[in-house]
Amino acid sequence: MNKGKVYLIGVGPGDPELLTLKAVRILAKVDIVLIDSLVEHSIRHFLRPQAQVIEVGKRGGQPSTDQAEINQMLVEYARQGLLVARVKGGDPFIFGRGGEELAVLNDAEIETEVLGGLTAGIALPGNLQVPLTHRDLAKGVSFISGCNKTFDNDYQWHELISLNHTLVIYMGLNKVQDIADALIASGMARGTPAMAVQDGSLATEKAVFAPLLHLARAIKQEQLQSPTLIVIGEVVALSPHWDEENIAQALYGANILVEAAR
């Protein structure tokens, strides 16, 4: 019997052209694919016709497969001698639970290979011409999650602000008002440039640009849905989509957003 193996593969934010060549090569030889539904369309084309695809992500309001169940499936399929791809959007180790799955596979002594992918937090600001770091405007960049165990009232917003980093917030859509309020209460300027992008890199991409104070309102007005990525920092104003005049008006309650035309 062949020896099974699991590939933890990141496939980027959605546009199939953002897959790595290595991911494409490996996808073309695996027997079985466990996939989050968000990224399904970007890889189908590269699989063997015989490859079995199992969707474990959320879809149409259905609950996603339990993480423990996914872990068990990975181990069992590999033990059957199959080549298994565990495919995730973006990069598997950026808010993708890749670390948890890796630990289970290593404990079970399953051969595992990790193929990094282009994370949404890097790919999407870049597409919208927002440079995440800049010698004059941002000393670095922090990737944070809007909805994990670390986000609660105790979150150290002051410390985060003092780093002078661009903030890239994953899974922050439902908490955007709370996050903006907390940042402003902790000393961040109300007019700090901010943006949010839904379905980044896909045909349905939609982005809004607004000062931090109005970000939540702009997102609501444009009815952005998940998945949406949020970026906050002076660098956002370097994008040609940041319209200084409109946004100055926004501070007085007029036209509050600029939609990025693609």
Catalytic sites, residue numbers: 36, 58, 171
Taken in order 4, 10, 14, 16, the sign of the CA dihedral is: negative
Minimal distance, residue 248 CB to ligand SAH, in Å: 27
CB-nearest residue to ligand SAH: 90
Q: Does 127 bind ligand SAH (CB under 6 A)?
A: no
How many residues make contact with ligand SAH (CB under 6 A)? 23
Q: Does 229 bind ligand SAH (CB under 6 A)?
A: yes
Angle between helical axes of 98-107 and 67-79 (0-180°, round to 10): 40
Window 42 to 81, contacts with ligand SAH (CB under 6 A): none
118 and 41 Cβ atoms separated by less than 8 Å = no
| Residue 182: its H or E element | helix 176-185
Q: Does 201 bind ligand SAH (CB under 6 A)?
A: yes
Q: State which of residues 30, 75, 197, 213 lies at the interface with ligand SAH (CB under 6 A).
A: 197
Side chain identity, residue 221: Q
Q: Does 171 bind ligand SAH (CB under 6 A)?
A: yes
Minimal distance, residue 220 CB to ligand SAH, in Å: 17
Q: Does 170 bind ligand SAH (CB under 6 A)?
A: yes
Q: Considering only the stretches 18-26, 42-50, 57-65, 222-230, report the one whose residues sit in contact with ligand SAH under the rule CB under 6 A.
A: 222-230
| Nearest CB to ligand SAH, comparing residues 95 and 151 | 95
Q: What tokens appear for 97 in the block?
A: 């639970």
What separation in angstroms does the CA of 20 have from each of 12, 15, 34, 125?
A: 8, 11, 18, 19
By three-state DSSP, how is residue 93 classified?
Answer: coil
**Euclidean distance between CA atoms 254 and 138, whole angstroms:** 29
Q: Does 239 bind ligand SAH (CB under 6 A)?
A: no
Q: Is 20 exposed, middle or buried (0-12, 13-18, 19+ CB in 10 A)?
A: middle
Minimal distance, residue 3 CB to ligand SAH, in Å: 28
Q: Does 125 bind ligand SAH (CB under 6 A)?
A: no
Q: Does 95 bind ligand SAH (CB under 6 A)?
A: yes
Q: State which of residues 120, 132, 208, 218 lies at the interface with ligand SAH (CB under 6 A).
A: 120
Q: Which of 90, 86, 121, 76 lies closest to 11 in space, CA to CA? A: 90
Minimal distance, residue 260 CB to ligand SAH, in Å: 13
Q: How far apart are the first and last CA of the chain?
A: 50
By three-state DSSP, how is residue 85 classified?
Answer: strand
Q: State which of residues 125, 211, 227, 233 lies at the interface with ligand SAH (CB under 6 A).
A: 227
Q: State which of residues 101, 180, 199, 210 lies at the interface with ligand SAH (CB under 6 A).
A: 199
12 and 88 Cβ atoms separated by less than 8 Å = no
| Nearest CB to ligand SAH, comparing residues 91 and 101 | 91
- Cis peptide before 227, with omega less than 30 degrees from 0? yes
Contacts with ligand SAH by CB under 6 A lie at 13-14, 88-91, 94-96, 119-120, 124, 170-171, 197-201, 226-229
